């Protein structure tokens, strides 16, 4: 009995010691956060004004998803991380990073990662936010014309002012350019010279895909299609130009369709101001060419 009591006592003592050590380890060495948990801790913060230690923590978490930059010249700087709704009303987490204008000639670029609630990466896009443009601010807010969230990016042409505003929206899990202004007026996008193209290039879309967007009930998709149709495209010009001819030929194919002509004419009468303006811009460009 004494031997059994001794063994039981020793076992109990070892158990207590083990629990105590585990508690000490947990207290002084807490479980390491996952990259997604780290990202969530920066939600809704001004990522452009973090302290150096916080920047390193955030950058390490981001690189777990993106990988390290190929060089310091190609490094993106985090700007905002927060939720944003898409056309279906689904909530997504959006990480927006900027590669600022560093030299002239050059451009400001944005990289956008879209995640679901569990931190699964749904899409990634990398695009120009303006040739010779310095980005001055960005935010995500409810848009009156589209009745949903948009990413709003403000910029300034580095020679002589010309403030610009770009509005981006989520379609499914992908970011699209929904509207753009310079000096407060609708601006035409340039697809002919690719260094001047603002926003994601949706070259994977077919002509039928673009017509479907034009006929969508989602006004952000409609204006996105109108921006593309009314943009500067290759139209038989001699080089130099950068746009792929098959991409430009989608535009001429669409503008020749009676269904598309009727839709654009109908949209010029839209009560949604931005749709009305963008549709008239397509007709103005078509009539001038």
pLDDT of residue 70: 78
Mean pLDDT of 193-206: 94
pLDDT in tens, 42-66: 999 999 899 999 999 999 999 999 8
d(CA 109, CA 99) in angstroms, rounded, equals 5
d(CA 283, CA 271) in angstroms, rounded, equals 17
pLDDT in tens, 147-177: 999 999 999 998 877 899 999 999 999 999 9
Contact status, residue 179 vs residue 189, Cβ threshold 8 Å: no
Whether 73 shows a pLDDT value over 60: the answer reads yes
Whole-number average pLDDT of the chain = 89
Query: Three-state DSSP class for 179?
Result: strand
d(CA 16, CA 21) in angstroms, rounded, equals 9
pLDDT in tens, 82-141: 999 998 999 999 999 999 998 889 999 999 999 999 999 999 999 999 999 999 999 999
pLDDT of residue 26: 47
pLDDT in tens, 229-264: 999 999 888 787 888 999 999 999 999 999 999 999
Q: Which of the four pLDDT bands, split at 50, 70 and 90, describes residue 20? A: low
Mean pLDDT of 13-23: 53
pLDDT of residue 188: 95
Whether 265 shows a pLDDT value over 80: the answer reads yes
């Amino acid at each position: 009995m004494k031997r059994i009591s001794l063994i039981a006592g020793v076992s109990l003592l070892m158990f207590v010691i083990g629990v105590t050590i585990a508690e000490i380890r947990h207290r002084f060495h807490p479980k390491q956060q996952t990259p997604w948990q780290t990202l969530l801790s920066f939600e809704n913060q001004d990522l452009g004004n973090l302290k150096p230690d916080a920047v390193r923590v955030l950058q390490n978490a981001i690189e777990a998803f993106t990988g390290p930059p190929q060089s310091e010249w190609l490094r993106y700087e985090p700007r905002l991380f927060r939720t944003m709704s898409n056309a279906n009303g689904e909530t997504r987490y959006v990480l927006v990073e900027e590669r600022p204008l560093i030299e002239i000639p050059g451009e400001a670029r944005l990289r956008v990662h879209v995640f679901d609630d569990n931190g699964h990466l749904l899409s990634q896009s990398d695009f120009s936010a303006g040739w010779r443009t310095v980005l001055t601010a960005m935010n995500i807010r409810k848009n009156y014309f589209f009745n949903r969230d948009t990413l709003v990016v403000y910029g300034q042409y580095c020679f002589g002012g010309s403030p610009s505003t770009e509005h981006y929206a989520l379609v499914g899990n992908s970011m699209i350019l929904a509207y753009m202004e310079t000096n407060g007026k609708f601006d035409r996008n340039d697809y002919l010279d690719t260094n001047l193209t603002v926003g994601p290039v949706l070259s994977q879309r077919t002509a039928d895909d673009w017509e479907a967007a034009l006929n969508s009930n989602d006004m952000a998709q409609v204006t996105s299609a109108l921006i593309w149709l009314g943009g500067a495209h290759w139209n038989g010009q001699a080089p130099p130009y950068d746009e792929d001819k098959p991409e430009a030929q989608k535009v001429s194919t669409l503008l020749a369709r009676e269904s598309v002509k009727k839709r654009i004419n109908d949209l010029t009468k839209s009560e949604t101001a931005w749709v009305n303006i963008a549709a008239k811009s397509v007709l103005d460009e078509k009539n001038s060419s």
